[in-house]
Structure 1
Amino acid sequence: MSGPGFFPSRTVTLYLGRMFLTRTLAVLLALVLVLQALDLLSESGRILAHAGNGEAQIWRYVSLRVPEIIAQFLPFSVLLGTIIALSTLNQNSEVIALKAGGLSAHQVLAPLIVASLGVAAVSFAFNDSVVSRASAALDQWQKVEYGPVPAASGDRVNVWVRTENDLIHVQQVRGKGDAVRLTGITAYQRNGGSLKTIISADSGRRDGKGWRIENASRFDVAEGTITPLGSLHVGDGVRPDQFTLASVDADGLSFGALSTAISDLRRAGRPTKALEGALWHKLSGPLSAVLMPLLGAVAAFGLARSGKLFVRAVIGMALGFAYFVADNFALAMGNLGAYPPFLAAWAPFLLFLLVGEAVLVRTEE
C-alpha cells in the first residue's frame, strides 16, 4: 500500500472518494427535501393568494427555490458527509488499517480533499449559471407578489432615487448614460421633512445637468390643486447612473456580470466595497468545501473503542459550524466597511485552513 506518491493506492483513493461523495450527496438530498418542505409551508399561502395561481406556480416556486437551498447548504452537506464517512471508517477500524499500511493522516484525507475540489468546481459553475438566474427570477416574482412578471427586456422597473430632500420614482428606465429614457415619473418634493408638492410626468430624458420631463403636472399638497405644467426641467444634479445602477443584487448576478456592474459603479464614483466582498465570496464560498475534510478529520483518528468517537464527531461539527459563523460575520463586517473586501471574503477561509491543519498535525502527525 505504501509508496513514494501522495496517492499510493488507486483502490484506496477511489474507495475513500466514493464513500465521501455518496454520503455528501445523501445528506444534501435529505437537507433539500426537508428545508424545501418547511419553506413551502410558509410561502404556499402567499403564492396561492394571488388569483389564478395553482399547482403550476407552486412547482415553479420550488424550481426557483431549490437551487438557492442547494447553494446555501452544500458546504454543510460536505461537512456532515465528511464526518459520517470518517466516523464510519474509524468505527470499522479501517483508518487503523490504512495507517498500519504506511499512510499518514494527510494521505488518508487526500482523496477527500481532491473530491471536495471537484465539488467546489461544480458548486461554482452551478452558482454562476443556475443559482444566480434562479435568484434573480425569484426576486422579480416576489416583487409582484407572485403575480405575472413582465417580459424581460433588460430595462429597470420601479426605481427610486433620492436627491437631497426629494424623492423620485420611475416606473421604467431604458438605456444607459445620457441616452437614458424615463417613463412614468413621480417626483416628491419635500421641505423640512414635509411633503409639499408631487410632480407627475409621462416621460423624461437627459437635459444638461438635469432632466426634461414631458406632459407634467403638479399637485400642491396644501391646497389640493393640480396644475398642468407641460414640459419642465427638473432634477439638477441627478445623474443617469442613479437610475441605471440604483440597486445591484449580487446574488442575482453571475461572477462576470457582477464584476461588470462593479466597474460601472466605480466609474460613476459610487461605493463598491460591499459588492467587491460579494464578488470575492463567489470564489471563497464554493471553495469552503475544501476545508470541510480538514475540519472534520478529527472524527477519523483516535480509537473508536475509547468511547470518544461521538465527542470527536461533535468537535468536527463544531469546527465546521464555527467557520460558517466566522464567514458570515466577516461578510457582515465587510458590508459595513469595517473589513476590506478581500479580507472579508478570504480571512475566515485562511484562518480555518490553518486551524484545521494545526489540529491535524498536533493530534496525528
Structure 2
Amino acid sequence: MSLGPLRILDWYLLRRQALCLAATATVVVTVSLIVVIVQDIDELLREEAGWSEAVAYFGLRAPQMLVQYLPVAVFLSVLVNLGILMRRGEVAAMMSAGVSHARITLPLAAFGVLVAVGGFAWNEALALPTEVRAEELWTTIKHGTPNPSSELSFMRGSGGRLYALAFVHRKRLHNFVMLEMGEGGFRSPRVALFARQAYWNHGQWNFLHGMLYRYDEGGRMVEAEPIGDQPISYPIEETAEDFSRYQQKTSDMTLEQLFHFMRVLRSVNESTADLWPQVHARFAVPASALVMTLLGAAVVLSSWEERRGRRVLLAILAAPAYAALMEVCLARAPAGPHLSAWIPNLLFGILGAILLKRSSSF
C-alpha cells in the first residue's frame, strides 16, 4: 500500500527530528558530564577514589542529566532540523505545494508528545533509581558522609519501620518521623514518633520537640505523649551511620515512592503540602518536550524577515531561559503554589503560540 504525500512528509520530518534529537541530546549530556567532572574531580582525588568508582559515579549521573536537560536538547533539535530544511529550501518547497506552517509543525508536535511520555518513563524507571545509586556511591567514596541537606529524605528500617528525616550532620537530624507498623501495614500502626530535632549521644537517639503516639492492635491511638525541651530516648536500631548511608531524598523518589512517603507523613498528621510541587514536577519536566518543540518550530517558521536579529537572539536565549526559570520554580516550589512547576511550560507555551499565530503561513 502506498502512502499519501502528506504521510510521506510526516515520516520524513519525524525521522529527521529523531536523528537530530539523538545528536543534540548526546552533545548536551556530554557537555553536562564534563561540567560535573570538573566540579567533582577535586573531591574524588581528595578521597582517593579509584578509576572504577569515578567512572561508575559519572555513568550513574548521566540518565538524570538527560531528563534535566531534555528541554534544551529538544529545543536545539527542532532548531537544527527545521533550520537545515529552510537552508535547503525544503520548507519553501512544502509551502509552495500548499503545506502550511501548522501542517509542518503537526508531526513535530506528535513527536514531542512521544518524547514527553518517553521522558516520564525514562525518569521513573531509570533516571531516579540510578541517581539514588550515584548518591549511595558518593557517600561510600566519602566514607559514609553524604552532602548535608535540609531536604526531607526517606528510608526503610528494621522491624517494619519507615523513617522520614532531614539529614544535617552525621549525628543530628531535623524533622524526624518514624512509623512502626504491624502486620497490617498502614492500617495497624504501633508507634509513631515525630520530633523537630534528634541527636545521637552515648549510643542512642534523643528526641526534642515533638509527639510520641502509641496505638492498640486495632490501629486506634491510645496514647499521645508530648516531647518538649527535655529530650526523650526511644530504642531505634538504626545508628547515625545507617541514616547517613541509606537516606533517600524526596527529589530522588519515584512517584510511587513519593506517594508512599506522603502517606507516612499524613499518618502522623504532618503536612504534605511541600511535596505536591515535586509531584507536579514529575509531569511538568517531561511535558516540556512538547512545549519546546512548538517553541522551536515557532522561532524558525515565524515570518520575522525584518526582525531576523531578534529571532536569532530568541533562539539563543530561549533554552537557557527556560532551564533557569524551571530551576527557580522548583527551588522555590515549597513556598509557592502547588502548580509552580508548570509556570515555565505555561509562559513558553504562550510565547510559542503567539509566534505561530503571527506566522503569515500558519
TM-score (norm 2): 0.71
1:23 paired to 2:20: yes
Once the two structures are TM-superposed, the CA of residue 132 in structure 1 deviates from its matched residue by 1.1
Once the two structures are TM-superposed, the CA of residue 101 in structure 1 deviates from its matched residue by 1.2
Structure 2: stretches of 5+ with no match in the other structure: 146-154, 182-188, 207-211, 215-222, 235-242
Which whole-Å CA distance do the structure 2 matches of 1:160 and 1:258 have between them? 15
C-alpha distance 113-317 of structure 1, shift in aligned 2 (>3 A): farther
Aligned equivalent of 2:7: 10
Alignment of 1:1-365 (within 5 A): 9-50=6-47, 53-147=49-143, 154-155=156-157, 175-176=180-181, 177-179=189-191, 200-202=202-204, 209=224, 234=232, 249-301=249-301, 311-337=310-336, 340-342=337-339, 344-364=340-360, 365=362
C-alpha distance 50-206 of structure 1, shift in aligned 2 (>3 A): farther
Contact kept in structure 2, 1:79 and 1:317, CA below 8 Å: no
Contact kept in structure 2, 1:262 and 1:276, CA below 8 Å: no
SS in 1 for 2:130: helix
Letter in 2 for 1:200: H
Report how many aligned residue pairs link the two structures: 309
Contact kept in structure 2, 1:159 and 1:170, CA below 8 Å: yes
CA deviation digits over 1:173-195, x for unaligned, max 9?
Answer: 794453579xxxx966xxxxxxx
C-alpha distance 158-108 of structure 1, shift in aligned 2 (>3 A): closer
SS in 2 for 1:103: coil
Letter in 2 for 1:20: Q
SS in 2 for 1:178: strand
Larger radius of gyration: 1
Which whole-Å CA distance do the structure 2 matches of 1:160 and 1:333 have between them? 18
C-alpha distance 26-57 of structure 1, shift in aligned 2 (>3 A): same
Once the two structures are TM-superposed, the CA of residue 128 in structure 1 deviates from its matched residue by 0.4
SS in 2 for 1:102: coil
Structure 1: stretches of 5+ with no match in the other structure: 1-6, 189-197, 212-231, 237-243
Once the two structures are TM-superposed, the CA of residue 79 in structure 1 deviates from its matched residue by 0.5
C-alpha distance 314-249 of structure 1, shift in aligned 2 (>3 A): same
Give structure 1 regions of 4+ aligned residues with deviation exceeding 6 angstroms: 167-171, 203-207
C-alpha distance 65-332 of structure 1, shift in aligned 2 (>3 A): closer
C-alpha distance 324-126 of structure 1, shift in aligned 2 (>3 A): same
Contact kept in structure 1, 2:205 and 2:233, CA below 8 Å: no
C-alpha distance 350-210 of structure 1, shift in aligned 2 (>3 A): same
C-alpha distance 138-29 of structure 1, shift in aligned 2 (>3 A): same
